[in-house]
Structure 1
Amino acid sequence: MTSHNLHVSYTAPDTTKSFQHSIPASATNDPLVAKQAHLTALQTLVPKLQDEINVFLTARMEEDSKSQGQISEKEAKEEENYGEEVVEDE
């Protein structure tokens, strides 16, 4: 039984961040069952990893915006309406 890790590294000039989750080893000797268990674990862990990365990157973006001063009016409006369809009046 060998355990595996799901590992991602973020590297920027001023910081490095690692994200890691352990994929449990299968307790069976049946290769098909072990493969299914491994894939099931990945299906669960990948979205968790994505969420962690998104939280980290969002925080970094906010820090960058603060360090550069105020964001432009256009950027503020885009952020306010993020994820929503906006129909502008003409």
Structure 2
Amino acid sequence: MANSPLNLQAVYTAPDTTKVFTHEIPAASSTDSFAAKQSHLATLQSLIPKLQEGINVFLTERMEEDKKAQGAISEKEAREEENYGEEVVEEDA
């Protein structure tokens, strides 16, 4: 492996925008040894959640912008969003 830096990268593409998420992976001094390979993989493993977090923040912002552009949301959508991630048992009236 060359000693130049590598990038962990994800690209979001939509009709109206493209966003590139990049994290630099420091170049390993040598990948010949098991310890160097292990260190390189550990670095990569630590960067993946950071990349995911950046993507999630961006997509959440996009969703909020889309909601504002669409105007008010329905009562059902408001309840669903309020209870997102929670199990809700609706009672029969």
> CA separation of 1:16/1:76 partners in 2, compared to 1, >3 Å: closer, same or farther?
same
Q: Output the TM-score relative to the length of structure 2.
A: 0.87
Unaligned runs of 5+ in 1: none
- Alpha-carbon RMSD: 1.3
Letter in 1 for 2:83: N
1:81 to 65, 83, 89: 83
The runs of 4+ residues in structure 1 deviating greater than 4 Å are none
CA distance in 1 between partners of 2:38 and 2:7 (Å): 16
Unaligned runs of 5+ in 2: none
How far 1:25 sits from its partner (Å)? Answer: 1.2
Partner of 2:9: 7
CA distance in 1 between partners of 2:31 and 2:9 (Å): 25
Partner of 2:24: 22
1:42 to 41, 44, 63: 44
The range that moved more, 58-67 or 70-79, is 70-79
* Bigger relative contact order (CA 8 A; separation at least 6): 2
Q: Number of residues paired by the alignment?
A: 90
CA distance in 1 between partners of 2:40 and 2:26 (Å): 8
Letter in 2 for 1:46: I
How far 1:33 sits from its partner (Å)? Answer: 2.1
1:31 to 30, 33, 55: 33
SS at match of 1:70: coil
> Taking every aligned residue pair, what percent have the same amino acid on both sides?
66
Partner of 2:74: 72
